[in-house]
Amino acid sequence: MRYFDFHTHAFTDELAKRAVSGLALTSGIEPATDGTVSGLRRKLEENGIDRGMMLPVATKPSQQEAINNWAASVMRDGLYCCGTVHPDAENTVAEVERIKALGLYGVKFHSEYQNFRPDEERMFPIYEKIAELGLIAVFHGGWDPYSKDEIKATPQSFAAVAGTFPKLKIVSAHLGGLNLWDDIEKYTAGRFHNLWFDVSVISRFISDEQLLRIIKKQGAERVLFGSDCPWDEPANEIDMINRLSLTDEEKELIFFRSAEKLLGI
């Protein structure tokens, strides 16, 4: 079986140790890599994963240009990258255009780190430009160990965005909303042709029965394998999918074919 891990993270060599140790201390999660690109590549290779998508996030408006330049510089040899914009930056639409010019594949958003709701109207011009350029909008979905009490990226918010922007290709991470499984079944699973889920870092949070039910409702062609490495071992999500009562064709779709179709590769 081939694997395309659609949800991975890494940092510059200078920042990696500080970033990973700080996030590990806050979350209580032991990271699976040292946070570097080389560490990520080693972890993917150890698990037989030949391709991965790296998803950087700008936590300040001032970071977006430098992060996008760096992402473009490390994108090679099976490592694909999205860019990032911060909703509070003044030049978000122009930066989306630059993300396209850099050859990056989409734009990663994280509501908890960037303090916005996916369905806020101030985000609409950004989504319009992403859709126009044929890029992908990738969102953190649901609860996050670093978040405050309120969850901003809910299945209801993704339903609103998917319905308002039918040409926008949306990936909602963590099966569309970590720990919001019933809302996923009610509001998003199987309802939108332009909405994909990834299965990153959910193996310790969801029952096999509910996961299988959501995948069947969503359709394996719009489900992507992902790990959230270094915040989970990719083997956990591989084992999770393999033990489900899915056909070989459905597993191939989840593990790599759905990603290939979404990216047009």
Backbone region of residue 264 per phi and psi (left: phi > 0; alpha: psi in -120 to 50; beta: other values) = left
At residue 23 the predicted structure's pLDDT band, cuts being 50, 70 and 90, is low
Give Dmax over CA atoms of the chain in angstroms.
48
- Determine contact, residues 162/192, Cβ cutoff 8 Å: yes
Asked whether the predicted pLDDT for residue 198 surpasses 80, the reply is yes
Determine the pLDDT at residue 231.
87
Across the range 127-156, mean pLDDT stands at: 92
pLDDT at 22 over 90: no
Measured CA to CA, the distance from residue 146 to residue 204 in angstroms comes to: 17
- Is the pLDDT reported for residue 224 higher than 80? yes
Query: What is the pLDDT, as a whole number, of residue 20?
Result: 67
Number of neighbours of residue 127 by Cβ within 10 angstroms: 21
- State the average pLDDT over residues 190-213: 97
Mean pLDDT (whole number) for 208-234: 97
* CA angle, 6 then 155 then 200, to 5°: 25
pLDDT confidence tier of residue 262, bands split at 50, 70 and 90: very high
Rounded Cα gap, residues 211 and 53, in angstroms: 23
Q: Mind listing the pLDDT tens digit for each residue in 65-120?
A: 999 999 999 999 999 999 999 999 999 999 999 999 999 999 999 999 999 999 99
Q: What is the pLDDT of residues 52-76, one digit of tens each?
A: 999 999 999 999 999 999 999 999 9
Report the chain's mean pLDDT, rounded to a whole number.
Answer: 94
- pLDDT the model gives residue 17: 73
Spatial CB neighbours of 132, under 8 Å, sequence gap ≥ 6: none
24-37 pLDDT, tens digit per residue, is: 555 556 777 888 99
